[in-house]
Amino acid sequence: MERTLILVKPDGVKRNLVGDVVSRIEKKGYTIAALKMMNADRSLLVRHYAEHEGKPFFEPLVEFMLSGPIVAIVAEGNRVIEGFRKLAGATDPTTAEPGTIRGDLARDQGTKVVQNIVHGSDSVESADREISIFFPEL
């Protein structure tokens, strides 16, 4: 059974979209194995976004993720990584297809970093690493 980490980012939490995101995951047929709301600290986010450290968007991204609570989710299912990324839609909410989370719920806010509601792991290796950061008990 494949697992992935999904984060509902501060913009999604602030706009009360957590239930919609969880509903879409469940309607797709994936299982929610773990879920928690939290205020991530800087050290956790630096570990999570380590591959982007030094890039121009790194600091604005960390600041955005520190701006409010997030919801961390572990979802399970056959090909869940690929399936959730398709469900989430393109990272640019302006070009994300209708029917996707970002296509339906996000828009370009004109901010330093794209606020696009959700994050999903991009590979099995990333999912394993990210789940261990947000859910060390699993």
3-state class (DSSP) for residue 99: coil
Active site residues: 119
Mean of all residue pLDDT scores within the chain: 96
What residues does 72 pair with on adjacent strands?
7, 36
Q: What is the pLDDT of residue 109?
A: 87
pLDDT digits (tens, 9 = 90+) for 40-85: 999 999 999 999 999 999 999 999 999 999 999 999 999 999 999 9
Domain 2-134 falls in which CATH fold?
Alpha-Beta Plaits (3.30.70)
Q: Where are the domains of the chain?
A: 2-134
pLDDT digits (tens, 9 = 90+) for 21-46: 999 999 999 999 999 999 999 999 99
Nearest to 117 by CA among 41, 40, 45, 13: 13
With cut-offs at 50, 70 and 90, classify the pLDDT of residue 7. very high
Q: What is the pLDDT of residue 44?
A: 98
Predicted TM-score (pTM) of this structure = 0.95
Distance CA 81, CA 37 (A): 21
Q: If you average pLDDT over residues 99-124, what whole number do you get?
A: 94
> Percent of the chain at pLDDT above 70?
100
Q: What is the pLDDT of residue 111?
A: 86
